[in-house]
C-alpha cells in the first residue's frame, strides 16, 4: 500500500480500477483496509481488491507510525512471495526518512529486499524507450568512485544481460556502459577511473561473450540508447541514470529490482507528500508498475 501519509493509498486504489490491470493480474494488497477505502472514496472509485490487514494505522498517523507501517507492509508482502503464495511484488512509495525513524540506516526498498533475501541486486529503471541499470544506488556523489569496481560493474553487466534474456526475451542483449567522468575521462585527462575500472570491466564482460561496449560519454550515449541502438545502459551513479529515464518517460518508467528470485517493481516516484490526500495523484506510474510485474511474472 505504501506510506499512509503519501500518495500510495490513492494510486493503489485508482490503479486497481484500470481495466488492463484487472485483466492481467489478481492483486492482493498488504496494508490498512480503512486507509485504502478512504483513498478510494476520495477519488470516487470503488475498492474491491483483497486486502491482507497488516496491523492498524490511525487516520492521521505520526511520521514514525507511518514509516513503521509502510516497511511492515513491504516485509509481509515479500515474505508471501518468498513462500510461493504470490508470483511478484509491486511496492507503492514509502518515505525513506520516515522508515528510518524506526529502522535507522534504511536507504530504500532495493537495498532492504537484497538483505532480506540474501540476493545481490541492481536497480533498473525500465521505460518504453530506455532501460537503465545502476552500478551504485543511494550513495553520496562523493562516495561513488569508491563504490564502483571492476567486479561490481562486471556483476551489473552480467545481471542486466541475464534479466534481459530471461525476463524480457532478448536473446542477445546490447548493453552500453557509461563513463564516470565527463567525456568518459578523455583518456585520463579527467580522472583515471574510466581507464582503470570501467574499461577493464567492459573488456571482461566481452570476453564472456556479452555484447557490451563502453565506457561511453553519458551525454551522447543516452540519445543513442533511447533511439533503440542499445537494449540497456549501465549507469554508474543514481542521477546519471535516473534523470534521462524519468525525463523521457516519467509516467511509464518502472523501477525493477534485478537479482531477486522473483519480479519486484515500483513506480518511479516517491510519496509526494505535497499533493497527498488532495485528489491530485496520477495513478499511471503505479499502473505501469503493476502491468510490468504481471508481464515479468509470466516468464
- Do 240 and 123 touch, CB atoms closer than 8 A? no
CATH 3.40.718.10 intervals, the chain: 1-108+269-299, 120-259
**Class level of CATH domain 120-259:** alpha beta
User: Which pLDDT score is estimated for 288?
Assistant: 97
DSSP strand pairing (131-134 vs 122-126): antiparallel
Half-sphere exposure for 7 (CA within 13 Å, toward CB)? 23
pTM over 0.85: yes
According to DSSP, residue 276 is labeled: T
- Do 132 and 171 touch, CB atoms closer than 8 A? no
Looking at the chain, the whole-number percentage of residues with pLDDT higher than 70 is 100
- Do 38 and 12 touch, CB atoms closer than 8 A? no
* 217-265 pLDDT, tens digit each: 999 999 999 999 999 999 999 999 999 999 999 889 999 999 999 999 9
Which CATH code for domain 1-108+269-299? 3.40.718.10
b vs e for 17-26, b when ≥16 Cβ sit within 10 Å of the residue's Cβ? bbeebeebbe
C-alpha cell at 146: 569508491
How far does Cα 107 stand from its chain's mean position?
13
Amino acid at each position: 500500500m505504501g506510506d499512509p501519509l503519501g500518495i500510495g493509498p490513492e494510486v493503489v486504489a485508482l490503479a486497481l480500477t484500470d481495466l488492463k490491470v484487472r485483466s492481467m493480474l489478481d492483486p492482493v494488497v498488504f496494508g490498512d483496509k480503512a486507509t485504502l477505502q478512504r483513498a478510494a472514496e476520495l477519488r470516487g472509485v470503488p475498492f474491491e481488491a483483497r486486502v491482507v490487514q497488516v496491523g492498524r494505522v490511525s487516520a492521521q498517523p505520526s511520521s514514525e507510525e507511518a514509516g513503521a507501517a509502510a516497511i511492515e507492509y513491504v516485509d509481509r508482502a515479500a515474505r508471501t512471495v518468498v513462500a510461493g503464495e504470490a508470483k511478484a511484488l509491486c511496492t507503492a512509495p514509502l518515505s525513506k526518512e520516515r522508515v528510518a525513524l524506526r529502522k535507522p540506516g534504511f536507504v530504500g526498498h532495493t537495498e532492504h529486499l537484497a538483505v532480506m533475501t540474501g540476493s545481490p541486486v541492481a536497480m533498473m529503471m525500465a521505460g518504453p524507450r530506455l532501460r537503465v541499470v545502476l552500478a551504485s544506488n543511494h550513495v553520496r556523489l562523493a562516495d561513488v568512485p569508491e563504490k564502483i569496481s571492476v567486479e561490481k560493474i562486471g556483476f551489473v553487466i552480467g545481471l542486466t544481460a541475464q534479466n534481459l534474456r530471461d525476463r524480457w526475451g532478448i536473446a542477445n542483449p546490447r548493453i552500453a556502459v557509461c563513463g564516470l567522468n565527463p567525456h568518459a575521462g578523455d583518456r585520463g585527462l579527467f580522472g583515471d577511473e574510466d581507464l582503470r575500472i570501467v574499461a577493464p570491466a567492459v573488456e571482461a564482460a566481452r570476453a564472456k561473450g556479452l555484447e557490451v561496449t563502453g565506457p561511453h560519454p553519458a551525454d551522447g550515449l543516452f540519445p543513442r540508447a533511447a533511439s533503440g541502438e542499445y537494449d540497456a545502459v549501465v549507469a554508474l551513479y543514481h542521477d546519471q541514470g535516473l534523470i534521462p529515464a524519468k525525463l523521457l518517460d516519467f509516467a511509464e518508467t518502472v523501477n525493477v529490482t534485478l537479482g531477486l528470485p522473483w519480479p519486484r517493481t515500483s513506480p518511479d516516484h516517491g510519496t509526494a507528500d505535497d499533493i497527498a490526500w488532495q485528489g491530485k495523484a496520477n495513478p499511471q506510474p503505479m499502473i505501469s508498475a503493476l502491468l510490468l510485474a504481471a508481464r515479468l511474472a509470466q516468464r
